[in-house]
Structure 1
Amino acid sequence: MTTICLVRHGETDWNAQGKIQGKTDIPLNAAGVEQATRCGHHLSASNWDLMITSPLQRARTTAEIINESLMLPLIEMEEFAEKHFGDAEGMTYEERALTFPDRFYPNQEDNDLFAKRLEIGLKRIADRYPNQRVLLVSHGGVINALLGELSNGEIGSGKTRLLNTCLSHIQFDRDQWLIKNYNQVSHLQKSGSKI
């Protein structure tokens, strides 16, 4: 069976400020680099076959830092880039609530097209890498959309706040993806506290 460990990218300044990023290409901050380093050390204790990353720099840099410990083939897949949130990008939650109280963001990527893009990406992984263990570094919106779809809405978008560099595991078994766990962050703990 194919196993995917979904890894959310490390922290950026916009994450720290509560701003929605979407396709805006924001780099990791120092905390994000540290999170990615810890994530790499943690993941090096398991065997992985390859790593896939979103092309956006916060995900790609996270993948490259993790890969310093693993030395895996690294593949970019546009399907797993973050959703484009249109005119809301760069706004905090409070600013979005005031400006767009109906939560409709002008010029954002259509939800159905976003879901289809992710479905195509998962199918490509299942078809190209059967029975392999894949690390997939992506974004909170992408991972939450996948978790929401695979759990029939029990978790995911609007319900689950994913932490930076959290790990979520899914497996492709008997022609369907199953969630094994999600939002795992034990690798970020040091002396009983999170960074």
Structure 2
Amino acid sequence: MTKICLVRHGETDWNAVRRIQGREDIPLNDKGKKQAEECGHYLKDFYFDVIISSPMVRARQTADLINNQVGLPAIIEMADFMERDYGLVSGMTIEEKKKKFLNQEHPSVESWEALSQRVMKGIDTIHEIYKGQSVLLVVHGGVINAILGSISNEELGHGKTKIMNGSITNIENQNGTWVIHNYNQVGHLSLSYSNND
């Protein structure tokens, strides 16, 4: 049974002001670094065979800070887990996007279908390579929502589930079927670091 512990990266300055953050490489802010350190402190008591990260800087910084305490020999980067490409709306605040596009998706934005196919291809690759192992996977909110939506037949995911910075979600492959054990867990974070809009 392959187990995957998904961690959303820590906060960035763009997260803090609700600015849409797709493929821009925005680093963690001080709060985000603290969130990552608290994730590492919590996760060091669990066993993992491998740590995998999105190659984007905010995810990789989070993975590095977690691995300072988890202590695995290397971090593997997988491009399948890059954040959704938001196209022309990337860099806008949520409010700016609503005003300009009236809550419609701009054609330049990667579709949820394409995002879900991409990230689930990555999940299948992990299951093929690390079957029966325990994997720590550091990614993005949109990626986690795409995974939750795919596994839950859209009961969870985009528009339904808010994924917090530094939160933990656990899934497991049981006899060929992915099962969600829990999602958006933030009990390991300091109260002041888990209040993220």
TM-score when normalising by structure 1? 0.95
Instruction: Report the counterpart of residue 53 of structure 2 in structure 1.
Output: 53
Q: Distance in 1 between matches of 2:141 and 2:173?
A: 21
Q: How does 1:1-195 map to 2 (within 5 A)?
A: 1-72=1-72, 73-189=74-190, 193-195=191-193
Q: Secondary structure, in 3 states, of the residue corresponding to 2:92? A: coil
CA contact (8 A) 2:14 2:20 kept: yes
Question: Sequence identity, in percent?
Answer: 48
* Letter of the structure 2 residue corresponding to residue 135 of structure 1: L
* Letter of the structure 1 residue corresponding to residue 116 of structure 2: A
Instruction: Give unmatched runs, 5+ long, in structure 2.
Output: none
Q: Distance in 1 between matches of 2:21 and 2:103?
A: 19
Q: Distance in 2 between matches of 1:145 and 1:103?
A: 19
Q: CA deviation at 1:111?
A: 2.9
CA contact (8 A) 2:54 2:81 kept: yes
Q: Distance in 1 between matches of 2:63 and 2:104?
A: 31
* Letter of the structure 2 residue corresponding to residue 79 of structure 1: D
Q: Distance in 2 between matches of 1:115 and 1:109?
A: 10
TM-score when normalising by structure 2? 0.95
Q: Distance in 1 between matches of 2:111 and 2:165?
A: 25
Moved over 3 A (4+): none
The superposition leaves residues 126-167 of structure 1 with CA deviations (integer Å, 9 ceiling, x where unpaired) of: 000011110100000000111011111111111111110100
Structural RMSD (CA): 1.0
Q: Distance in 2 between matches of 1:129 and 1:78?
A: 17
Q: Secondary structure, in 3 states, of the residue corresponding to 2:188? A: helix
Q: Distance in 1 between matches of 2:112 and 2:188?
A: 32
Q: Distance in 1 between matches of 2:47 and 2:138?
A: 16
Q: Distance in 2 between matches of 1:114 and 1:163?
A: 19
* Letter of the structure 2 residue corresponding to residue 178 of structure 1: V
Q: CA deviation at 1:102?
A: 4.0
Q: Distance in 1 between matches of 2:165 and 2:120?
A: 23
Q: CA deviation at 1:113?
A: 2.2
Q: Distance in 2 between matches of 1:14 and 1:118?
A: 23
Count of residues in correspondence between the two structures: 192
* Letter of the structure 2 residue corresponding to residue 55 of structure 1: P
Q: CA deviation at 1:103?
A: 2.2
Q: Secondary structure, in 3 states, of the residue corresponding to 2:178? A: strand
